[in-house]
Chains A and B, each alone.
Chain A
Amino acid sequence: MLFTEHFFLLYFFPLFLLFFLPFRNTLKLSHIIIIIFSLIFYISFGISNLIILLIPLLINYSLGILVFKVKKKRYKKAILFLGVFFDLLILLYYKYFNFAFDTLLPYIPLRFSDNIRALSTTIFPVGISFIVFQRISYLVDIYRKVTKPANNLLHYSNYATVFPHLISGPIVRFVDIKKELGKRKYKAIYLFDGFKFFIVGLALKVIIADGLFTVEEMLKNSIHVNNTYESMILISYFSLRLYLDFTGYSLIAMGLAKLIGFSFPYNFNSPYQATSFQDFWNRWNITLSKWLRDYLYIPLGGNRKGNLRTYMNLILTMLLGGLWHGASWNFVIWGGLHGIYLALERHFITNRISLKIPIFFKKILIFIVVSLTWLMFIFTKPQDAITVFMSLISLNFSPFQSSVSHAFLLSLPALITGLLWAFYFTEKDIEKISLNWKNSLLLVIAFFVLLEITFTKQAVPFIYFQF
Chain B
Amino acid sequence: MKKFLLYFPIAVWIVLFFIEIFSIFFLHPKPMYFRAWEYVLNEGKDSYYVPFKPNSTYRGKMTGDLLNTVNFQPKRKDIRYQDFIVDEYGFRNNPGTYAKKPETVIIGSSFVGGSVLTQEEIINEMLRNKYKYLSYNYATLPLQHFWEDKRFITHPPEYVFIIGNETEFLQNSWIINLQNTTIKHEVKKWTSLDDWEQHNNPTDLSYQGISKYVRRFSFVKYALHQGYLTIINALLPRSLLFNMSTRELGYKSESDMLFYDIYKFNPIITTTNKKSIIETIHTLTMTQKYLQMRNIKLVIAVVPSKASLYANEYMKIKDSKRLLYLLENEMKKNNIDYIPLLEDLRKISNDKLLYYNDDGHWNGEVNRVITDKFYNTYLKNKSIN
Contact = CB atoms under 8 A, between A and B. Distances in A.
B13 A6 contact: no
A208 B269 CA distance: 45
B9 A451 contact: no
Contact of A191 (B10, B207, B220, B248): B10
Given A191-B7, A195-B9, A407-B246, A7 B214 contact: yes
A17 B10 contact: yes
Contact of A10 (B8, B10, B16): B16
A192 B6 contact: yes
Contact of B218 (A10, A188, A407, A410): A10
Contact of B225 (A21, A214, A444, A452): A452
A191 B224 CA distance: 24
A11 B210 CA distance: 11
Interface string A404-427: 001100100000000000000000
A43 interface: yes
Nearest to B218: A6
A410 B6 contact: no
Given A6-B218, A410-B244, A456 B225 contact: yes
A191 B6 contact: yes
Contacts of B220: 10, 451
Nearest to B3: A188
Contacts of B211: 1, 5-7, 44
Contacts of B384: none
A455 B221 contact: yes
Given A11-B20, A435-B5, A455-B225, A43 B207 contact: yes
A406 B248 CA distance: 10
A250 to B, nearest CB: 20
Contacts of A43: 207
Interface string A67-103: 0000000000000000000000000000000000000
Contacts of A301: none
A403 B247 CA distance: 10
Contacts of B20: 10-11
Contacts of A410: 244, 246
Given A10-B16, A452-B228, A188 B7 contact: yes
A394 interface: no
A452 B224 contact: yes
B365 to A, nearest CB: 33
A447 B5 contact: no
Interface string A431-465: 00001110010011001100110011000000000
Contacts, number: 90
B249 to A, nearest CB: 12
Interface string B210-226: 11001100101100110
Contacts of B9: 191-192, 195, 440, 443-444, 447
State the main secondary structure of chain A at its contact with B: helix
Interface string A21-47: 100000000000000000000011000
B2 A435 contact: yes
A442 to B, nearest CB: 10
A15 interface: yes
B5 A18 contact: no
A14 B14 contact: yes
A430 interface: no
A21 B17 CA distance: 15
Q: Which of B3, B10, B12, B210 has the most CB of A within 10 A?
A: B10
Nearest to A7: B211
A189 interface: yes
B84 to A, nearest CB: 25
Contacts of A195: 9-10, 13
A15 B14 CA distance: 8
B215 A440 contact: no
Nearest to B19: A10
Contact of B5 (A14, A440, A448, A456): A440
Given A444-B8, A451-B220, A7 B215 contact: yes
Interface in A249-268: 259
Contacts of B210: 7
Contacts of B17: 10-11, 14-15, 18
A407 B210 CA distance: 34
Contact of B14 (A1, A5, A17, A448): A17
Interface in B1-36: 2-3, 5-10, 12-14, 16-17, 20
A440 B8 contact: yes
Interface in B199-247: 207, 210-211, 214-215, 218, 220-221, 224-225, 227-228, 244, 246
Interface in B274-328: none
Interface string A210-224: 000010000000000
Contact of B224 (A7, A188, A448): A448
A411 to B, nearest CB: 10
Contact of A455 (B5, B207, B218, B246): B218
A406 B12 CA distance: 38
A11 B3 CA distance: 25
Contacts of A11: 17, 20, 214
A406 B246 contact: yes
A417 to B, nearest CB: 16
Nearest to B208: A44
A447 B12 contact: yes
Interface in A169-202: 188-189, 191-192, 195
Nearest to B228: A452
Looking at A43, A191, A259, A403, the one whose CB has the most chain B CB atoms below 10 A away is A191
Contacts of B5: 192, 435-437, 440
A410 B12 CA distance: 32
A435 B244 contact: no
Contact of A451 (B3, B10, B207, B224): B224
A291 to B, nearest CB: 30
Contact of A6 (B3, B214, B244): B214
Contacts of A6: 211, 214-215, 218, 221
Nearest to A1: B207
Interface string A260-281: 0000000000000000000000
Nearest to A259: B10
A435 B2 CA distance: 8
Contacts of A189: 6
B224 A455 contact: yes
List 6 A-B pairs, minimum CB-CB distance, nearest first.
A14-B17, A7-B211, A44-B207, A452-B224, A6-B215, A455-B221
21 contacts: A6-B211, A7-B215, A10-B214, A14-B14, A14-B17, A15-B17, A44-B207, A189-B6, A192-B6, A195-B9, A195-B10, A403-B248, A407-B246, A410-B246, A440-B8, A447-B13, A448-B224, A452-B225, A452-B227, A455-B215, A455-B225
Given A192-B5, A455-B225, 10 more contacts: A10-B17, A10-B218, A14-B16, A15-B17, A44-B207, A191-B6, A403-B248, A435-B2, A435-B6, A440-B8
Interface of B: 2-3, 5-10, 12-14, 16-17, 20, 207, 210-211, 214-215, 218, 220-221, 224-225, 227-228, 244, 246, 248
Interface of A: 1, 5-7, 10-11, 13-15, 17-18, 21, 43-44, 188-189, 191-192, 195, 214, 259, 403, 406-407, 410, 435-437, 440, 443-444, 447-448, 451-452, 455-456
